[in-house]
């Protein structure tokens, strides 16, 4: 019986991996991770590199950054096949996942596909630090207090989704919102929430940038790896 391990490795700082996650990572003979783009190392690969040993086999897996279901399913099938080539010979595979393994993670789809192709494979996951927790830690604020309601929008396509969240929760977290940032800024200005809104770009990475107050930040050019925290109350 082979195991596919999903290890959460945090948001950028290699020290944010848990003790348990590090133990599983360093015991692995095969370590898989999402392949970077344009020949560069991916985030998960950069996080784990200081912890890997020379004898461990690295297995980069290609996952396209697209919304096309057919392309995604094809990528999951291909990646699952590569992982199964080890699992079906009795070799366990450990997959390193940026952030937390259960928080909007590619690993979920990889594991489901692997188990569909071979139900005998067992999956074990190790939790870790996700991006909202890392962002508020860098801002020096709590994510929630007392009975505050929290809404997380993993992808923002339409402003009405944000307006609904702002009207129903005391804390709103936005992810993958950079393409709509000018419109988001306008809406927050209308609602008087710019002073209580913050952005952390590339949280805990060496390139991290923090914007703790958005009142004079109407024209930010933000990367894909940006997260916004809005306190409505």
Instruction: Verify that 157 and 186 share a domain, yes or no.
Output: yes
CATH of residue 190's domain is 3.30.950.10
CATH of residue 42's domain is 3.40.1010.10
Instruction: Verify that 156 and 218 share a domain, yes or no.
Output: yes
- For the full predicted model, state whether its pTM sits above 0.85: yes
Instruction: Verify that 59 and 44 share a domain, yes or no.
Output: yes
Instruction: Verify that 159 and 49 share a domain, yes or no.
Output: no
Instruction: Verify that 115 and 190 share a domain, yes or no.
Output: no
pLDDT at 39: 81
pLDDT at 153: 97
Is it the case that residue 231 has pLDDT exceeding 80?
A: yes
pLDDT at 200: 98
Domain boundary pick from 101, 126, 151: 126
Domain boundary pick from 126, 152, 174: 126
Instruction: Verify that 75 and 165 share a domain, yes or no.
Output: no
Instruction: Verify that 69 and 166 share a domain, yes or no.
Output: no
Query: What digits encode the pLDDT tens for the residues 157-202?
Result: 889 999 999 999 999 999 999 999 999 999 999 999 999 999 999 9
User: How many structural domains does the chain have?
Assistant: 2
Instruction: Verify that 136 and 114 share a domain, yes or no.
Output: no
Domain that holds residue 55: 3-126
Instruction: Verify that 9 and 117 share a domain, yes or no.
Output: yes
Instruction: Verify that 55 and 104 share a domain, yes or no.
Output: yes
Residue 185 has φ and ψ, to the nearest 5°, of -60, -45
Instruction: Verify that 48 and 121 share a domain, yes or no.
Output: yes
pLDDT at 40: 87
Query: What digits encode the pLDDT tens for the residues 191-230?
Result: 999 999 999 999 999 999 999 999 999 999 999 999 999 9
Is it the case that residue 67 has pLDDT exceeding 90?
A: no
N- to C-terminal Cα distance for the chain? Answer: 51
Instruction: Verify that 102 and 169 share a domain, yes or no.
Output: no
Domain boundary pick from 98, 126, 154: 126
């Amino acid at each position: 019986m082979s195991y596919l391990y999903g290890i959460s490795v945090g948001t950028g700082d290699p020290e944010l991996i848990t003790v348990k996650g590090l133990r599983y990572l360093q015991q692995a003979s095969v370590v898989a991770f999402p392949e970077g783009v344009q020949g560069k190392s991916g985030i998960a690969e950069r996080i784990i590199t200081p912890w890997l040993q020379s004898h461990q086999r690295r297995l980069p897996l290609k996952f396209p950054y697209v919304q096309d279901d057919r392309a995604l399913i094809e990528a999951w099938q291909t990646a699952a096949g590569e992982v199964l080539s080890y699992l079906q010979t009795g070799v366990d595979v450990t997959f390193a996942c940026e952030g937390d393994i259960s928080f909007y993670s590619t690993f979920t789809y990889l594991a489901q596909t692997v188990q569909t192709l071979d139900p005998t494979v067992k999956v074990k996951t190790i939790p870790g630090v996700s991006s909202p927790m890392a962002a508020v830690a860098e801002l020096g604020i709590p994510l929630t207090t007392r009975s505050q309601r929290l809404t997380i929008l993993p992808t923002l396509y339409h402003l009405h989704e944000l307006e609904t969240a702002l009207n129903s929760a005391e804390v709103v977290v936005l992810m993958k919102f950079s393409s709509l940032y000018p419109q988001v800024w306008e809406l927050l200005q209308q609602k008087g929430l710019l002073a209580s809104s913050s952005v952390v770009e590339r949280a805990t990475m060496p390139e991290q940038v923090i914007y703790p107050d958005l009142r004079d930040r109407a024209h930010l050019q933000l990367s894909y790896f940006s997260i916004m925290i809005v306190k409505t109350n």
